[in-house]
């Protein structure tokens, strides 16, 4: 490693993933303040929610600070293939146009996204072997295998002339992950001995005591549970949790059942896993139509939709309109997954529909059918013992997770813990670490085919429309500003009994209109707008969005 120049600094800049679980986007900068080189670690999305951002599919970080100096952005490096780490690449890469690095399984899934976005001619992710190393300007990166809930999760050791950062990515300690490598504890300890400046670490489960548990135990438990069931079984899980898919398939096989994959994501992920050498022991798969011909106790459906996603296979099965799969009395659905906060309403609605069909529901509430992919407190403690950093930087969490994580790190004798916020520029070295600047940051919504700044206020406007509907009024004036006809009124999303009150409220301001003093009708438009809103409020208790247009003939 070169020796640092006099003005060199190593900085950390989260633009997403701090203060929220999702949308991970972390940048590391190195060099003098006026000429920093950057690498980006992960580029993920957050899913829109109907309640807060109606009509928005995806939420992404605002990266204009880096886009404006994209010649200094050396690469995007993906730690693993979850959507909250790679989902924004097709949307944000065109603003950076730098190389993208990932291990093979992750690279295949990124390629799939680029193809869908029509970008596969312009960007080919560069494949890094497991435990591989890459040099990027002043940075040297080492990929370190860890365990999580998807194939090929990696921590990164980021070496710079001013010190080494361990960026954990998403991880847990699973001594028997059942697929892929175990955590490379030796590599992490070696870094600790070498001397780690900062550990930038997953906070998802920082509020949960103990350990997350092993996939091997889930495999035993699911095998036993499936043995107790006599009719058709559907198991739903995240398609990306390939070890879990294998667990479910082997549990089915052990109980004399054949497996059918239901849902596009299941096929996409298992194809990517096979191409990269995983799933060698996966039993042969039936297609949905073949499976329907089997006796009920000989089949197991592996289905998408554990989070209540309305277009996924399980939702269609629950609505009884799936072309090949139907479930009914005596059949069982196992949710081998957790309820992601925010999805609870959709999941319970789905479960109610299934219960209505007479289907038995088995969930992680009362059966051991799932383990988390993120580190609980004992595992976090282990990570700090291995890496022994000078600074702990908790990321990948809401503020409550991050602050508790920081407290835990301090209790483990980490000299300094910094809870970052998106947009804060944090100097890690030289000198004592701390926030030195704030850069533009925020969220961008993918709304249909358009990317739009969250600050533009569209979501607020849509929520207002959803809450109280709208009134559109057209006033017609002649060339001298005199009222020339009845106003046109369009009312949307407002209960019928309120309409008369709104219409009736316009007479008064129209009567008071003074054409001489208000020739363009601007004052009239405002008093009509207010009168309509007031009438709605008096009759209904709500103020609709109200627009008034003046047409002069
Ligand atoms: Zn994540
Ligand atoms: Zn993850």
Classified as helix, coil or strand, 456 is helix
- Strand pairing category for 285-286 and 258-262: parallel
Sheet holding 488-492, edge to edge: 488-492, 470-477, 545-552
Query: How far are the Cα atoms of 148, 493, 524 from residue 505, in angstroms, in the given order?
Result: 62, 18, 13
Query: How far are the Cα atoms of 198, 331, 379, 396 from residue 374, in angstroms, in the given order?
Result: 20, 32, 9, 10
Find the 54 Cα to ligand 1 centroid distance in Å. 23
Find the 198 Cα to ligand 2 centroid distance in Å. 21
Find the 207 Cα to ligand 1 centroid distance in Å. 16
Ligand nearest to the CA of 44: 1
Q: What is the per-residue pLDDT for 336?
A: 98
Residue 550 and residue 472: Cα distance in Å, rounded?
11
The pLDDT averaged over each successive group of 10 residues in the chain (553 residues) is 90 97 96 97 92 89 98 98 98 98 98 97 98 98 98 98 98 96 97 98 98 97 98 97 97 97 95 94 90 95 96 96 95 96 92 98 97 98 98 97 98 98 98 97 94 90 94 95 94 96 95 93 96 97 97 92
Find the 368 Cα to ligand 2 centroid distance in Å. 21
Ligand nearest to the CA of 172: 2
DSSP string, 93-136: HHHH---EEE-HHHHHHHHHHHHHTT-TTT--PEE--TT-EEEE
Residue 313 and residue 305: Cα distance in Å, rounded?
6
Find the 52 Cα to ligand 2 centroid distance in Å. 24
Find the 208 Cα to ligand 1 centroid distance in Å. 17
Q: What is the per-residue pLDDT for 218?
A: 97
Find the 21 Cα to ligand 1 centroid distance in Å. 7
Q: What is the per-residue pLDDT for 375?
A: 98
Q: Could you tell me the two tokens for 446? A: 């993918």
Find the 334 Cα to ligand 1 centroid distance in Å. 24
Ligand nearest to the CA of 24: 1
Nearest to 180 by CA among 211, 149, 142: 149
Ligand nearest to the CA of 204: 1
DSSP string, 281-311: TPPPEEPHHHHHTS-GGGEEEEES-TT--TT
Ligand nearest to the CA of 46: 1
Q: What is the per-residue pLDDT for 493?
A: 96
Find the 205 Cα to ligand 2 centroid distance in Å. 12
Find the 374 Cα to ligand 2 centroid distance in Å. 8
Ligand nearest to the CA of 84: 1
Find the 306 Cα to ligand 2 centroid distance in Å. 16
Query: How far are the Cα atoms of 49, 481, 503, 506, 517 from residue 478, in angstroms, in the given order?
Result: 47, 5, 22, 18, 14
Phi-psi bin for 457: left (phi > 0), alpha (psi -120 to 50), beta? left
Find the 396 Cα to ligand 1 centroid distance in Å. 7
Find the 476 Cα to ligand 1 centroid distance in Å. 56
Q: Could you tell me the two tokens for 152? A: 């090929």
Nearest to 336 by CA among 482, 218, 456: 218
Find the 84 Cα to ligand 2 centroid distance in Å. 7
Find the 327 Cα to ligand 1 centroid distance in Å. 33
Find the 289 Cα to ligand 2 centroid distance in Å. 33
Find the 269 Cα to ligand 2 centroid distance in Å. 15
Residue 486 and residue 476: Cα distance in Å, rounded?
7
Residue 432 and residue 468: Cα distance in Å, rounded?
52
Q: Are 214 and 174 in contact (CB under 8 A)?
A: yes
Ligand nearest to the CA of 372: 2
Find the 331 Cα to ligand 1 centroid distance in Å. 33
Find the 490 Cα to ligand 1 centroid distance in Å. 46
Find the 354 Cα to ligand 2 centroid distance in Å. 29
Find the 522 Cα to ligand 2 centroid distance in Å. 55
Find the 241 Cα to ligand 2 centroid distance in Å. 10
Residue 143 and residue 133: Cα distance in Å, rounded?
6
Find the 149 Cα to ligand 2 centroid distance in Å. 7
Q: Could you tell me the two tokens for 327? A: 């479930």
Sheet holding 443-447, edge to edge: 46-47, 58-61, 443-447, 450-453
Q: Could you tell me the two tokens for 132? A: 């591989």
Find the 111 Cα to ligand 1 centroid distance in Å. 19
Query: How far are the Cα atoms of 187, 288, 304, 369, 501 from residue 353, in angstroms, in the given order?
Result: 49, 22, 16, 21, 41
Ligand nearest to the CA of 241: 2
Find the 246 Cα to ligand 2 centroid distance in Å. 18
Find the 494 Cα to ligand 2 centroid distance in Å. 44
Classified as helix, coil or strand, 223 is helix
Q: What is the per-residue pLDDT for 341?
A: 82
Gyration radius from the chain CA atoms: 28
Find the 143 Cα to ligand 2 centroid distance in Å. 16
Q: Are 197 and 175 in contact (CB under 8 A)?
A: no
Ligand nearest to the CA of 149: 2
């Amino acid at each position: 490693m070169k020796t640092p120049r006099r003005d060199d600094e190593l900085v950390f800049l989260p633009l997403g993933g701090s203060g929220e679980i999702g949308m991970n986007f972390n940048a590391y900068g190195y060099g003098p303040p006026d000429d920093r080189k950057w690498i980006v670690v992960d580029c993920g999305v957050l899913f829109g929610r109907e309640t807060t951002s109606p009509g928005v599919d995806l939420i992404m970080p605002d990266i204009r600070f880096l886009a404006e100096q994209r010649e200094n952005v050396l690469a995007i490096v993906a730690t693993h293939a979850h959507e909250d780490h790679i989902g924004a690449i097709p949307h944000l890469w065109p603003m950076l146009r730098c190389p993208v690095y990932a291990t093979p399984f992750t690279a295949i899934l990124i390629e799939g996204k680029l193809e869908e976005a029509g970008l596969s001619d312009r960007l080919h992710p560069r494949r890094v072997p497991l435990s591989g190393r890459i040099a990027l300007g002043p940075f040297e990166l080492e990929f370190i295998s860890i365990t999580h809930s998807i194939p090929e999760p990696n921590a990164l050791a980021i070496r710079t002339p001013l010190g080494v950062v361990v960026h954990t990515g998403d991880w847990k300690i699973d001594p028997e992950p059942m697929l892929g490598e175990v955590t490379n504890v030796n590599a992490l300890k070696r870094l600790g001995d070498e001397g780690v400046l900062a550990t930038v670490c997953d906070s998802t489960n920082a509020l949960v005591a103990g350990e997350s548990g092993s996939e091997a135990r889930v495999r035993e438990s699911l095998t036993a549970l499936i043995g107790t069931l006599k009719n058709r079984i559907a198991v739903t899980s995240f398609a990306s949790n390939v070890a879990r898919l294998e667990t479910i398939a082997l549990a089915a096989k052990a109980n004399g059942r054949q497996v059918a994959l239901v849902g596009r994501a299941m096929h996409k992920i298992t194809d990517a896993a096979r191409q990269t050498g995983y799933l060698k022991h996966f039993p042969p798969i039936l297609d949905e139509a073949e499976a329907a011909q089997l006796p009920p106790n000989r089949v197991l459906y592996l289905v998408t939709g554990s989070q209540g996603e309305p277009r996924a296979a399980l939702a269609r099965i629950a609505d009884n309109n799936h072309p090949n799969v139907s479930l009914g009395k005596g059949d069982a659905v196992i949710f081998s997954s957790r309820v992601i906060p925010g999805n609870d309403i959709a999941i319970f609605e789905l479960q109610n529909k299934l219960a209505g069909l007479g289907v038995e529901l088995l969930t992680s509430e009362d059966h051991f059918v799932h383990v988390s992919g993120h580190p609980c407190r004992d595992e976090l403690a282990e990570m700090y013992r291995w890496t022994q950093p000078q600074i702990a930087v908790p990321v990948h969490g809401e503020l409550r997770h991050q602050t508790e994580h920081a407290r835990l790190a301090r209790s483990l004798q980490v000299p300094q813990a910094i809870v970052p916020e998106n947009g804060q520029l944090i100097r890690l070295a030289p000198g004592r670490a701390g926030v030195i600047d704030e850069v533009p940051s925020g969220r961008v919504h993918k709304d249909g085919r358009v990317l739009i700044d969250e600050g533009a206020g569209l979501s607020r406007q849509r929520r207002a429309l959803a809450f109280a509907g709208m009134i559109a009024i057209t006033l017609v004036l002649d060339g001298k500003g005199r009222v020339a006809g009845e106003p046109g009124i369009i009312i949307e999303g407002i209960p019928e009994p309120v309409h008369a009150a709104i219409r009736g409220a316009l007479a008064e301001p129209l009567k008071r209109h003074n054409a001489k003093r208000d020739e363009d009708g601007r004052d009239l438009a405002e008093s009509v707008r207010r009168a309509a809103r007031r009438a709605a409020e008096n009759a209904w208790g709500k103020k609709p969005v109200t627009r008034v247009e003046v047409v002069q003939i």
